[in-house]
Amino acid sequence: MHTNKWNALHAFSRMALLEVENLCTEFRTKDGTVTAVDDVSFTIDKGERIGVVGESGAGKSVTGLSILQLVEYPGVITDDSSIRLNGEDLLAKSEDEMASIRGNEIAWIPQDPLSSLNPTSTIGEQIVETMRIHGYGDDENDRRQRAISLLADVGIPDAANRFDDYPSEYSGGMRQRVLIAMALSCEPSLIIADEPTTALDVSTQAQIVNLLRDVTSNDTALMVITHELGLVAELCERVMVLYAGTVAEKSDVAGIFDDPKHPYTKNLLKCSPHLTMGEELNTIPGSMPVGSERPSGCQFHPRCSEAMEECSVVEPELLPDGDGGEVACLLHTDQEYNMKVDQP
Ligand SMILES: Nc1ncnc2c1ncn2[C@@H]1O[C@H](COP(=O)(O)OP(=O)(O)OP(=O)(O)O)[C@@H](O)[C@H]1O
């Protein structure tokens, strides 16, 4: 019952910044409909850091891109979905309004710093341009000064001189810092970071985690998309575990590590290089359903070592787990489901 007190405090001290309800995002391809995000609901409070975790293909990036309405063709957010920022319906916004919200209100840190930066433009000019596009700052000189101070804030030494360098003159870790500076440049209320430490060495990863923790605050919330639960442990307050586009489990960070409920979460913990600390690293046998073919019942049941007969028939609902979190697993629900299966 460790989380109830925390949740009560959380409810009183914070307000919802982002409210995602029943988000469904489908890719309507010629080979059938791929449901990338299937009825996902969650909130992010002002200044909160939340981790969205799962293996490749779980729907993490599409969830983030849906919030920004940047899902590529033939992706469609279905009509029952709702995404609200500070109470405003983002799905009712025009493309021009969304363009202004991107960067100004919600900033995206993409997966790959090298391909996200323009190799032919200086680092400083790219940060200034982000502010210019979003109408931030009064004049070019202000924007330039702010870019230099942001570069210094994210730990670029000798920022005034490094302003005029090209991306190729920065290391991988420095390029990631630049993307963080760009995300911060227009003072967004939410930053969505997609795998922010992938491809960095271990000590640089630790520095980027510390930086992300330092730059998020009461004014800036963070949604981290990652397959790495170790990153979540170091950085986030709450976790949402996705599997095949559905929410497997939600919890505060302590709950996920001390008492994971969903068998998929338990498997992910055994697969995290940071958490296993030199013990044998496991992989989860089998693979996530791909394309339009989805198993009946629980999406994870074909790979689940704890699966029961009814797991192949009944789709588990996401229900309170009794510890302040929520879990979608028949092992953690009462007899109601078994009765449903037994009925003719
Ligand atoms: N353009 C597309 N057309 C068809 N299916 C797509 C498209 N983009 C994504 N998908 C499908 O959506 C699902 C979720 O993809 P998503 O990129 O969100 O996964 P992820 O959890 O972020 O994985 P990764 O860690 O590999 O980025 C996958 O099954 C993927 O194949």
What's the gap in Å between 58 CA and the centre of ligand 1?
7
pLDDT tens for residues 179-233? 999 999 999 999 999 999 887 888 888 889 999 998 887 789 999 999 988 899 9
CA angle (42, 44, 46) in 5-degree steps? 160
Mean of pLDDT values over 161-171:
96
CA-242 nearest atom, ligand 1: 21
- Which distant-in-sequence residues (6+ apart) come within 8 Å of 207 by Cβ? 155, 173
Report the 10 Å Cβ neighbour count for 93. 16
Supply the residue whose CA is at minimum distance from atom 17 of ligand 1.
61
Percent of the chain with pLDDT over 70: 90
pLDDT tier for residue 14 given thresholds of 50, 70 and 90: low
pLDDT surpasses 60 at 5 = no
pLDDT tens for residues 71-130? 999 999 999 999 999 999 999 999 999 999 998 999 999 888 888 999 999 999 999 999
Which residues are paired to 138 by β-bridges? none
Supply the residue whose CA is at minimum distance from atom 5 of ligand 1.
27
pLDDT surpasses 60 at 15 = yes
pLDDT tens for residues 274-307? 665 556 666 888 999 987 888 999 999 999 999 9
C-alpha distances out from residue 130 to 185, 186, 221, 223, Å:
7, 8, 20, 20
Question: Among 180, 178, 258, 172, which Cα is nearest to 213's?
Answer: 180
pLDDT tier for residue 244 given thresholds of 50, 70 and 90: very high
Of 57 and 281, more confident: 57
CA-227 nearest atom, ligand 1: 25
Supply the residue whose CA is at minimum distance from atom 14 of ligand 1.
59
Position 334 scores a pLDDT of 60
Position 292 scores a pLDDT of 80
What does pLDDT average to over the chain?
89
Supply the residue whose CA is at minimum distance from atom 19 of ligand 1.
57
Q: What are the helix and strand counts (H, E) for the chain?
A: 14, 13
SS (HEC) of 269-326:
HHCCHHHHCCCCCCCCCCCCCCCCCCCCCCCCHHHCCCCCHHHHCCCCCCEECCCCCE
Q: What is the DSSP string of 200-248?
A: S-HHHHHHHHHHHHHH--SS-EEEEEES-HHHHHHH-SEEEEEETTEEE
Q: Which DSSP symbol is given to 71?
A: P
What's the gap in Å between 140 CA and the centre of ligand 1?
39
Position 274 scores a pLDDT of 64
Position 344 scores a pLDDT of 43
Position 138 scores a pLDDT of 83
What's the gap in Å between 29 CA and the centre of ligand 1?
13
Query: Which residue in this structure is represented by tokens 């999406």?
Result: 299
Dihedral sign (CA 108, 113, 118, 123): positive
pLDDT surpasses 60 at 337 = no
Position 280 scores a pLDDT of 61
CA-245 nearest atom, ligand 1: 14
Position 314 scores a pLDDT of 95
What's the gap in Å between 143 CA and the centre of ligand 1?
36
pLDDT surpasses 80 at 10 = no
Q: Which domains does the chain have, with CATH numbers?
A: 2-105+189-342 (3.40.50.300), 116-187 (no CATH)
pLDDT tier for residue 342 given thresholds of 50, 70 and 90: very low
pLDDT surpasses 60 at 60 = yes
Query: Which residue in this structure is represented by tokens 């599409």?
Result: 62
What's the gap in Å between 43 CA and the centre of ligand 1?
22
**CA-based R_g, the chain, Å:** 21
Of all residues in the chain, what percent are helix, strand and coil, respectively (each to 5)? 40, 20, 40
Cα(210)–Cα(34) distance, integer angstroms: 37
Supply the residue whose CA is at minimum distance from atom 25 of ligand 1.
56
Supply the residue whose CA is at minimum distance from atom 18 of ligand 1.
59
Q: Which DSSP symbol is given to 195?
A: S
pLDDT surpasses 60 at 56 = yes
Query: Which residues, judged by CB distance below 6 Å to any ligand atom, belong to the binding site of ligand 1?
Result: 27, 29, 34, 36, 54, 56-62, 72, 75, 227, 290
ipTM over 0.95: yes
Position 339 scores a pLDDT of 42
CA-64 nearest atom, ligand 1: 18
pLDDT tens for residues 115-157? 899 999 999 999 999 999 988 888 999 999 999 999 999 999 9
Supply the residue whose CA is at minimum distance from atom 12 of ligand 1.
36
pLDDT surpasses 70 at 243 = yes
Cα(344)–Cα(240) distance, integer angstroms: 35
